[in-house]
A = this chain, B = another copy of it.
């Protein structure tokens, strides 16, 4: 007689089945619901909210609820999920994530995470080699970086390292944050401002540097920005160069920024959260030329490389600074008299308990090899190139806001009477209608579940950001996306 499957087994079946049957173009990307609709659906099973005296729900109901979670969630592996700079989670990475969860431990000490500690060393070493940073394969030396819970946190730590190099006493004595200045392009990620606030520098300390039309820092703008900041009495701390901006995937010119930083003794941090993955591709890596002169690099493998949230590293040129800057020497955890204590990663970072984010990347990389990592990047760029060609051949139906030449292209749909588009000739009313178009098109896509496409204001005008990174997306899918935008926009404009 066969036993009934347990609740855990039934839940595993649901999750397994979801992973093994990725959505196709025939499926919905999203079943859009407002909070009230979703709450009403869950009220049929276990209810979203918790009562003051919450009962244990029947296993069947719990399984139904898990199915509802899947049903009402956005299908981020769908070939028409083109909404932001992650998509198409790598199934091997997903199972690697599951493996880490099943072995639930913390990456803080070798004692409880022997394999993961060694994996971190191996992966950080390999990533540092790709970045041109100094490396060491000896696991008894600190690895050239750390895993962080996301790119924002990595940037925060990098700026603290910069402050610590300028004034090693900051850890003990603190600092007057208002003295410093950090430079980042106008198109750089907002985490520089958030980090400055948290470090006590304040967002006023973040000096925006002008960008060119594509969103890359203007090399000639950095020096004067630093000069005038110094003249105003602030101490320059670091330059954050962006390798792959969020909206247009622009790469700041690292060689000239590195020259400026070297000349002035400034910390050069490269925010490669998005674009760091260009290092995997022989055809793309020159975008990061000069990176080898940086002091630190943030690189999110959960963006282009399809690792699940979160898989982010901070690489550093001088690994010994991690301990000097972050260690607290808690003797209950990092006991000086235990075996292999020098391998503990925990005191080289800010976190204590820490998810073992490395295992999924390690497993996926071993399965795909370098060639598989390269292919993912090259596929993304090829699809973006395909869309750029389509836009150019669209007889004015679409117009570039920022054409781009990496994974992103930002486009407007152009109403027939405005083709060919001359943005500068738009009157206020046309501009306002055009600006309102993208949110309306997006809402209709969500309602129909046909696509998820991100839109962003560029120079005050909402455009569609088409960006590709899911290996399951084909050129046909990309064409369908453009057709959908055209159809919804046409209907919306004439309504």
A457: which B residues are within 8 A, CB to CB?
331-332, 335
A190 touches B335 (CB 8 A): no
B83 touches A112 (CB 8 A): yes
The 8 Å CB contact of A178, one of B174, B339, B436, is B174
Give A119 Cβ to nearest chain B Cβ, in Å: 6
B150 touches A354 (CB 8 A): yes
> Is A395's CB within 8 Å of the partner chain B?
no
A74 touches B113 (CB 8 A): yes
A171 touches B150 (CB 8 A): no
Q: Choose, from A55-63, A221-229, A251-259, A484-492, the stretch at the interface.
A: A55-63
Q: How far is the CA of A15 from the CA of B97 in the complex (A)?
A: 10
Contact with B along A89-110 (1 / 0, CB 8 A): 1011011111101111110000
Most B C-beta atoms less than 10 A away, residue of A56, A68, A303, A442: A56
Query: Quick one: closest B residue to A102, CB to CB?
Result: B19
A171 touches B203 (CB 8 A): yes
A115 touches B150 (CB 8 A): no
Tier of interface size on chain A: 35 or more
**A20 with B15: in contact, given A112-B76, A125-B50 (CB under 8 Å)?**
no
Most B C-beta atoms less than 10 A away, residue of A35, A76, A455: A35
> Is A426's CB within 8 Å of the partner chain B?
no
B20 touches A8 (CB 8 A): yes
Most B C-beta atoms less than 10 A away, residue of A62, A73, A112, A370: A73
Residues of A19-71 whose CB lies within 8 A of B = 19-20, 32-35, 38-39, 46, 48-50, 52-57, 59, 62, 65-66, 68-70
Query: Quick one: closest B residue to A169, CB to CB?
Result: B202
The 8 Å CB contact of A436, one of B48, B190, B309, B337, is B337
> Is A480's CB within 8 Å of the partner chain B?
no
A442: which B residues are within 8 A, CB to CB?
338
> Is A287's CB within 8 Å of the partner chain B?
no
**19 other A-B residue contacts (CB within 8 Å) besides A65-B366, A73-B116, A172-B197:** A7-B92, A12-B95, A12-B98, A15-B95, A35-B118, A50-B123, A73-B114, A89-B104, A112-B452, A152-B352, A169-B202, A172-B202, A173-B178, A173-B204, A194-B328, A194-B350, A310-B354, A310-B355, A338-B442
